[in-house]
Each structure stands twice: as structure tokens, then as C-alpha cells.
Amino acid sequence: MPSKILTLDNLDLDQKRVFVRVDINTPVHPETGELLELSRIEEAALTVGDLPNSVAVVASHQGRVGRSDYISMDKHARALSRVLGKDVRFVQDVFGEAAISAIDNAKPGDVLVLDNLRFTAEENQEFPPADAEKTIMVTRLKPHLDACILDAFPTAHRASPSIVGFAGVMPTAAGRVVARELMKLERITGVEKGPYVTVLGGAKVNDRIEAIDALIANRRADKVLLSGLVALVFLKSIGKYRGALKVDSEQKMLVKARQLLDDHPNSFELPTYVAVKVDGARKEMQVTEVTEKMAVLDVGKNTIDRYSRLIRGAGTVFMSGPPGAFEYEEFGLGTEMLLNALADSFGTTIVSGGHLEAALHRFGMLDSIDLVSTAGGALVQYLAGKRLPLMDALERAAQKWGK
């Protein structure tokens, strides 16, 4: 772990009011709204449980605006209560009167969970540290807090106020998850070897596209195997997919994808067969046959076999984002079989992100992967050699508050 940062053990937090920025952004069933698994909540409990004589003010985001997983944190609070084995109070507020009153009236040992940080406009933006310190969120909460613990490694690549705004105004240190992730990454990056195969899926297209060029430039991706929505963007950029994408800044994403394909013509593998839902059942077809009204929910068996061979022949495999909608049994084949290929690989295997961690639990493969990280986009950028705002915040805090 870098010596430039403070950890939970470096601060005296007894009887203090502590803002604990975790990432318990959890996969949510798109129809029932139920939390699909609790791994991130269980990890957050490691830090919260180590603050027995503090007021722990737990804060996280959940989902993105306009998506089915953009929900309140009340279910997370109940789940955290079960994991901790103690009462946890949900506060339906972030920095208004209800939140401030709850913090001021809490007693040492109490655990509060604030509502979804992304319900506030500021948290959906990114700021330089000096500007983040002046946001309404930070300026309103600051007088009612004594310290900040950053334990949201999956959000380490976001310069949102809750990540970068507190380090300059109060003692700030890394929580248990961040400390553990950094130790694991230092260990695993010391033994990895080529060829490097990167498997990218999921729906976070902008994050993936931003990182691909850096991964290739830093020799962390000899081959990039694309699936999920990000693959459809690349396929549409070369005219092989005609369906709808429903992504932000679609034209900009298509131009970036086409440029990457032109710049690195031998680096990418794209699906040739995909699975769609027809009359409630899985149907596989060539990508070029998919019409605008069809929803692509998985990669096809032909593509799974091709990708699996490349994965098994790799020296290091990094996988981020599920290939399909694995929460539906009939569309979990791609996710299960590609993870199985990683589990069978003799190379160094790294899996990142909450959705894939949930899939590993479901398929019973968690112990077969060398490194399972809670981070998705943050780990992609870390491996690509990019600076992470959360790490910068921790280093600034160590300089200012370290003894």
C-alpha cells in the first residue's frame, strides 16, 4: 500500500462524527427493484464495523439518472443493518435539514445511511478539488463532521464532491476496502505477464471507450474482446449493427469507436453472433440480422467459443463488465462461460466490478480468480496508468493532516 496516504488506523476517530464515503452501488433487479447481492455492503461493513465509538455517516451513490437501478438507499440501510447485526438509521436526505439534524443528534456507536448521493445535482458532476470544497454538499456538511473516510474504490475515478471535496477541509483517510484493494493490486501487478487479453462488457460505454486507448498504449491489452453495449457501439460504428443503442452522446461514441478500430485494427475482437429475446425465449443470430426492434441481451455461442480460446491462451486476463443480462437465466450463458474460461486459465486473472462479482458468487467461481476487485471503471483506469481522483485526494490529505 502506498506510504503517501493515511489509513483508518492513523486517525483518532473515537467519539467523532465520521463521513464514510463507501460504494454500495449494487446490482438491482430491473423488474422487482430488489438488491441482487450484498458483497459491496458486506465489504463496507468492514470499515463501518471498525468505528464502534464513532458516529458513522455512511454515504454512497446508487445507479444513474434515468435507469432502473437509480433508487433510494433504504434497502441498502436495511441490508447493512443485517450485516452489522445492529440498528442502522436510514436518512431520507443528503445535506438538508433532516440529514444535519440526524448527524447532530446521533450518539457514538450510531450508524446513519444518507440517501442516494446522486439525488443531488452536484454529485452528478466532477470538480477540481478547490471547487469541490465549495460545493453546497461539502460546505453544509463540513460543520457537522470531524473526519472523512474514503472507502469507495469503485468510484475512485470520479472527481465528485463526496470523493474529492472533504480532503482539504477535514482529516481524511483510506478505509479498509481501499487499503485492501491497493495492497492486492500492488501484489498482482508484480506477477502479471503477456500476452494481455482484456474482456470488456457492460453498459458503461463512455468509461470503456476512454480507457481502451490507454490500455493498449500501456501494453495492457494485446487483444480487446468486446461484448455488451460497448460491443454494439463498435459494431454500429462500422455498419454491422442496425439496432438502437440508447447511449448518451451516441454520435460522439460512434466516432471514438471507429477511430479506435482504425488506429488498432489487429487489437479488437467483436461479436459475430448475439442472443436476443423472441417470444420470451433466447434466440441466437448473426449481428447483421438484428433489427431495430430487437434487444441484444447476450453474446452468442459462436462468439463465446472464440473468446474462450483467446482467454485460455492469455498470460494475463482482465475482465470488466458482464457480456449479457445474466440476471435473467436464459441470458447468463455468455457471462458464465467467459468467467469459466478465466477460471480455467493458467494465466493471471483479474475480474472487476460489482456485477461480475455477483456473477462469480452465483456461478460458484469466486475462489478460482486471482484478483476480484470491487472496482469497474476505476480499475480499468488504474491498470491503464491513469491518475485516480480518490488517490489524489488521499495523498493531499496525508500531506495536510498527517503527523
Q: How far apart are the first and last CA of the chain?
A: 18
Intervals of CATH 3.40.50.1260 along the chain: 8-182+387-401, 194-346
Closest CA to 368 of 344, 352, 333, 338: 344
**What is the residue whose three cell numbers read 466516432?**
255
Q: Which CATH superfamily is domain 8-182+387-401 in?
A: Phosphoglycerate kinase, N-terminal domain (3.40.50.1260)
Q: Which strands form 273-278's sheet, in the order they lie side by side? A: 281-286, 273-278, 296-299
Neighbouring CB atoms inside 10 A of 139's CB total 14
> Is omega for the bond preceding 195 within 30 degrees of 0, making it cis?
yes
pLDDT at 191: 65
Secondary-structure class of domain 194-346 per CATH: alpha beta
* Residue among 42, 41, 36 nearest 24 (CA): 41
Three-state secondary structure along the chain?
A: CCCCCCEHHHCCCCCCEEEEEECCCCCECCCCCCECCCHHHHHHHHHHCCCCCCEEEEECCCCCCCCCCCCCCHHHHHHHHHHHCCCCEEECCCCCHHHHHHHHHCCCCCEEEECCHHHCHHHHCCCCHHHHCCCHHHHHHHHHCCEEEEECHHHCCCCCHHHHCCCCCCCEEECHHHHHHHHHHHHHCCCCCCCEEEEECCCCHHHHHHHHHHHHHCCCCCEEEECHHHHHHHHHHCCCCCCCCCCCCHHHHHHHHHHHHHHCCCCEECCCEEEEEECCEEEEEEHHHCCCCCCEEEECHHHHHHHHHHHHCCCEEEEECCCCCCCCHHHCHHHHHHHHHHHHCCCEEEEECHHHHHHHHHHCCHHHCCEEECCCHHHHHHHCCCCCHHHHHHHHHHHHHCC
Q: Which of 27, 28, 60 is nearest to 44 (CA)?
A: 60
Q: ∠266-215-128 over CA atoms, to 5°?
A: 145
Cα 350 to Cα 371: distance, rounded to the nearest angstrom: 5
**pLDDT at res. 305:** 97
pLDDT string in tens for the chain (403-residue length)? 555 899 999 999 999 999 999 999 988 888 888 998 888 899 999 999 999 999 999 999 999 888 889 999 999 999 999 999 999 999 999 999 999 999 999 999 999 999 999 999 999 999 999 999 999 999 999 999 999 999 999 899 999 999 999 999 999 999 999 998 888 887 776 667 889 999 999 887 887 887 788 788 888 889 999 999 999 999 999 999 988 887 878 889 999 999 999 999 999 999 999 999 988 899 999 999 998 888 899 999 999 999 999 999 999 999 998 999 988 889 999 999 999 999 999 999 999 877 888 889 889 998 999 988 877 778 877 887 788 999 999 999 999 998 6
Give the distance from CA 138 to its chain's centroid: 23
